[in-house]
């Protein structure tokens, strides 16, 4: 169990290092909500076709591809 903490105008959680190491979490992550759960995964582990935005955020998508594949 854990609790959230105040970080400026947001809330944060602490993830213990053993858990981060176990899943191989890197410095750049993708966050999203699916079925009421927060999903955190390595940004560069996803295939480019899976990262394509569903909206007009192509500049952001291009920056992800440039970061991960250069």
CB 67, CB 45: distance < 8 Å: no
Which pLDDT belongs to residue 63? 64
**What is this structure's pTM?**
0.56
Expressed in angstroms, the distance from the first to the final Cα of the chain is 38
pLDDT tens per residue, range 7-37: 899 989 888 889 888 888 888 888 889 899 9
At 35 the pLDDT is 92
């Amino acid at each position: 169990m854990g609790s959230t903490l105040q970080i400026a105008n947001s809330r944060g959680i602490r993830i213990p290092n053993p858990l981060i190491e176990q899943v191989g979490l890197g410095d750049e992550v993708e966050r999203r909500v699916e079925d009421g759960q927060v999903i955190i995964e390595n940004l560069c582990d996803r295939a480019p076709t899976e990262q394509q935005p569903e909206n007009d955020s192509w500049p952001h998508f291009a920056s992800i591809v440039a970061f991960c594949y250069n």
